[in-house]
Structure 1
Amino acid sequence: MAATQRIAVGVVLVATCAVALAGCGIGDRGSTGVPGAKKPEQGARRGAPGAKEGAPAQPKTPVRLIGDGSTAYTGAQPHLPRAERLKSGQKPPQFVVFSWDGAGEDGQRLFSHFRKVARANNATMTYFLSGVYMLPEEKRDLYRPPQHSPGRSDIGFNDVRGIKDTVDQLRGAWLEGNEIGTHFNGHFCGSGGGVGQWSVEEWKSEIAQAKSFVKTWKTNTDTEKAVPLPFDYDEELIGARTPCLEGQENFMRAARELGFRYDTSGVNAQVWPQKKEGLWDLSMQLVPVPGRSFETLTMDYNFYMNQSGAKEGDAGQQQYWGDQFRDGLLKGFYRAYDGNRAPLIIGNHFESWNGGTYMRAVEETIETVCTKAEVRCVSFRQLADWLDAQDPKVLDRLRTLKVGEAPEEDWNTFLSAGPAPAPRGVPGAPAATP
């Protein structure tokens, strides 16, 4: 894909995401600012050589190929920890979720870069893949977006090399214990057919198509002999974040019917999550903006919007803006770590906005928090697994703590009430009798 046809969201998205709390999809793919990343050349293909570097070995023989062989069931996911129930009086760990909207590998190689960062800092993450990044430009008409003409997408499509490079990263990420979610397809926001106007059935169509493009990438790229993705996407896909955080209500209705387990499309304070209409509400959160009197979402785009109006700003300010983003995330982290221990939810994009300063800030945040004692940097799947394993009464007790509020007494006293029996098969407490 030529740089002028970038996989990015263009001016239309910037306009529709102008609300300070609207998390947006992929944007400008200009200069990088991340060590080892390269700026795509004009007219060059989107894929980047060397994308396989650091990828774990693929299982030698898939247990079961699925469909055209684009995906395969290869057994239980490696490096997926077993969730354990808190013991009576035990202080909860500090969970931090780093997640990426519209994850794909392009010439900047940010997907592969942050996989290395995660491995170096004992972290796993969630990658929300946009389905159209698995569909080549010449087959764009296979996409039938709700309320839009066939082949329409506000974030473009991909080329064969870009799809191959993205597949390499998805494969490696999953084998390392990361989660592959979805950011759906065309990233339509605002009025005129945006996701906020979609019905439940239209959401179901969008989800089915996002799955389909992952499950047929070999056919659509005429690479039938390529190595499959090592997971069954119907089983892997359990959660999502909607474009611009719009359309959550009808999406959640569709997601619940399709067996999803969580949604992260809302806006919340830093408090312990609860289920909403049967799904874990793992919404984006508000954190302080250092030097300012307000809070904004834990997302690179929202700082980008507040700092330079979601456009390239003064180069002399870029270092400061990145530091402000990093320090805002760290303020939110310590507010929870030293307070109520509510999970911290962070969302980002593989982007180089304002000279790549936000990517630098995210990397520094990962290096600071993920190596601390009692901190677990995990995927949404792992967080949902842990929440499901807990005594509901303990979670109810944790939800009484306000933002940044630690128990008045010590944690042992606060959570020392006798726990309910654990669900069958959950370690850490006697199993409930059938």
Structure 2
Amino acid sequence: MAAPTKLTASIAAAVALAAIAGGCGGPSRGGPPQHTRRGRPVPQAPARTVRLIGDGSTAYTGEQPLQPTPLRLEPGKRPPQFVVFSWDGAGEDSRKLFSRFRAVGRKYQATMTFFLSGVYLLPEDKRDLYAPPRHTPGTSAIGFNDVRGTRDTVAQLRGAWQEGHEIGTHFNGHFCGPRGVGVWTPGEWVSEIEQAEDFVTHWKTNSGLISEPPLPFDYSRELVGGRAPCLEGQHNLIPAAKEMGFRYDASSSGGRQTWPHRTDGIWDFPLQQIPLPGRAFEALAMDYNFLANQSGTTHGNRAMHATWGRQMLDGIMAGFERAYRGNRAPLFIGDHFESWNGGTYMTAVEQAIKAICPRRGVRCVSFKQLADWLDAQQPEVLARLQELSVGESPQGGWASYLAGDTGGAPYGPAGRPAAPVLPAGADARIRPAAE
């Protein structure tokens, strides 16, 4: 995998976007799955049945474990406080940050989204297999991997999926700027997504690791969303994402802490602006954006590392409390597996997960799980939630605001819904929506 500074140059555009935005800024669904990819039916294999796909790099092994059953919100009940911790790049290298945060997730019952860069499953000597739009074949702004890095990354992806986490996409070459993703056409985005899938579904062939176990999922089915490099290009990515069967996109920047909307049928989950303690403006809820406002470099003044980490933690907590005590809008936190400024941001994120995820009424989920819950709600409920501004508590309280008065037709089920049927060991992950 590329060196620790692999994103330093290529993410500069995200910093510029943040500056514009304010001074640099519940498990298994019952019945057959409802979503398909490009018109292909979802395989209906029995649980524990392993059906190898393609060259055996992936396999269908049944429904993903530890997935919450999405229930409609009962009339008059306060919505859950959803929090999504997500990771751009999502590869395992010598710093072992992927495995570290899987352990954090297990400890604090936090499910996350890992956005995989497809080139992290493509060894350097096979680089010519990648044909990036508007760039020379075999080039990548974040480099490629080696065989050992591919093996280690696959091991983490395998374990993460089995623990209930989502494997999304950060696409491939992380190209920003004049010929980068910001100017790609929908067709070029489709090519990029198809190549990202191909690198996942042929990692054995490309790395020579034929004897390794397959990834236990069908990636063409599991891949339902991503985040674009540098938060650029969403306008043309949306139609491509729709064509490829995506359900959400997390590529826009400068979003406010309000309930999400759809864009052309795709859930828009933007990186949000949260308080930047000690400053008069807000910052994007991402480690690199805090870095840009603090040191402007990945290796700033050592004496300030702890202070900068605390500032990020305090910012996350301020954004969380604003939503938790207000409109209950989902909170989105974006990060990278990096040791910038002595790893202070990794420490801040771990502390935030520890402080937030065990709280009453909080659900630390993946973007996919959030999309499942939103899809399960009545449109009238979502419309009411979307009317609330940043930090706004409903006038009269939740009991009256979501009382279910929709012209005489209550939007919720009559009485309390049946408890979700959970796989063994999954009940600890799911907390009731009501407090």
TM bucket (normalised to shorter chain) is 0.7 to 0.9
Identify the residue that residue 38 of structure 2 maps to in structure 1. none
Identify the residue that residue 67 of structure 1 maps to in structure 2. 54
1:363 maps to 2:342: no
Partners of 1:119 and 1:228 in 2: how far apart?
23
3-state SS of the aligned residue for 2:341?
helix
Partners of 2:175 and 2:134 in 1: how far apart?
10
Identify the residue that residue 257 of structure 1 maps to in structure 2. 243
Partners of 1:310 and 1:337 in 2: how far apart?
33
Identify the residue that residue 299 of structure 2 maps to in structure 1. 312
Identify the residue that residue 209 of structure 1 maps to in structure 2. 195
Partner of residue 98 from structure 2, selected from 107, 111, 118 = 111
Identify the residue that residue 113 of structure 2 maps to in structure 1. 126
Identify the residue that residue 234 of structure 2 maps to in structure 1. 248
Identify the residue that residue 175 of structure 1 maps to in structure 2. 162
Identify the residue that residue 9 of structure 1 maps to in structure 2. 6
How far 1:421 moved relative to its partner? 7.6
What CA deviation, in whole Å up to 9, does each residue of 1:329-352 have, x standing for no partner?
A: 100000000000000011000001
How far 1:12 moved relative to its partner? 3.5
Structure 1 stretches of 4+ with a deviation exceeding 6 A read 421-424
Distance 1:213 1:406, change over 3 A: same
What CA deviation, in whole Å up to 9, does each residue of 1:59-97 have, x standing for no partner?
A: 996521000000000000000111000011111010000
Q: Write out aligned runs for 1:173-322 (5 A).
A: 173-191=160-178, 193-267=179-253, 268-322=255-309
Counterpart of 2:153, as a letter, is T
Partners of 1:22 and 1:154 in 2: how far apart?
23
1:135 maps to 2:122: yes
Distance 1:313 1:401, change over 3 A: same
Contact 1:62 1:72 in 2 (8 A): no
Identify the residue that residue 132 of structure 2 maps to in structure 1. 145
Counterpart of 2:398, as a letter, is W
3-state SS of the aligned residue for 2:18?
coil
Counterpart of 1:118, as a letter, is G
How far 1:6 moved relative to its partner? 2.4
Partner of residue 393 from structure 1, selected from 361, 375, 380 = 380
3-state SS of the aligned residue for 1:284?
coil
How far 1:397 moved relative to its partner? 0.5
3-state SS of the aligned residue for 2:176?
coil
TM-score normalised by L of structure 1: 0.86
Is there any run of 5+ residues in structure 2 with no aligned partner, and where?
A: 21-45, 419-435
Distance 1:159 1:235, change over 3 A: same
Counterpart of 2:377, as a letter, is Q
Partners of 1:11 and 1:308 in 2: how far apart?
13
Distance 1:217 1:422, change over 3 A: farther
TM-score normalised by L of structure 2: 0.86
Identify the residue that residue 93 of structure 1 maps to in structure 2. 80
How far 1:226 moved relative to its partner? 1.3
Counterpart of 1:242, as a letter, is A
Partner of residue 155 from structure 1, selected from 130, 136, 142 = 142
Contact 1:14 1:310 in 2 (8 A): no
Counterpart of 2:249, as a letter, is D
Contact 1:20 1:302 in 2 (8 A): no
3-state SS of the aligned residue for 2:272?
strand
Q: How many residues align?
A: 388
Contact 1:17 1:189 in 2 (8 A): no
What CA deviation, in whole Å up to 9, does each residue of 1:349-397 have, x standing for no partner?
A: 0001100000000000000000000000000010000000001101101
Counterpart of 2:200, as a letter, is V
Partners of 1:144 and 1:286 in 2: how far apart?
35
Contact 2:4 2:339 in 1 (8 A): no
Distance 1:384 1:11, change over 3 A: closer
1:409 maps to 2:406: no
3-state SS of the aligned residue for 2:89?
strand
Is there any run of 5+ residues in structure 1 with no aligned partner, and where?
A: 24-58, 430-434
Partners of 2:341 and 2:267 in 1: how far apart?
34
Q: What is the root-mean-square deviation of aligned Cα atoms in Å?
A: 2.1
How far 1:190 moved relative to its partner? 1.0
Partners of 1:80 and 1:357 in 2: how far apart?
31
Counterpart of 1:240, as a letter, is G
Partners of 2:352 and 2:48 in 1: how far apart?
38
Identify the residue that residue 19 of structure 1 maps to in structure 2. 16
Partners of 2:167 and 2:144 in 1: how far apart?
19
Partners of 1:10 and 1:365 in 2: how far apart?
23
1:102 maps to 2:89: yes
Contact 1:301 1:310 in 2 (8 A): no
3-state SS of the aligned residue for 2:364?
strand
Partners of 1:314 and 1:384 in 2: how far apart?
40
How far 1:243 moved relative to its partner? 0.3
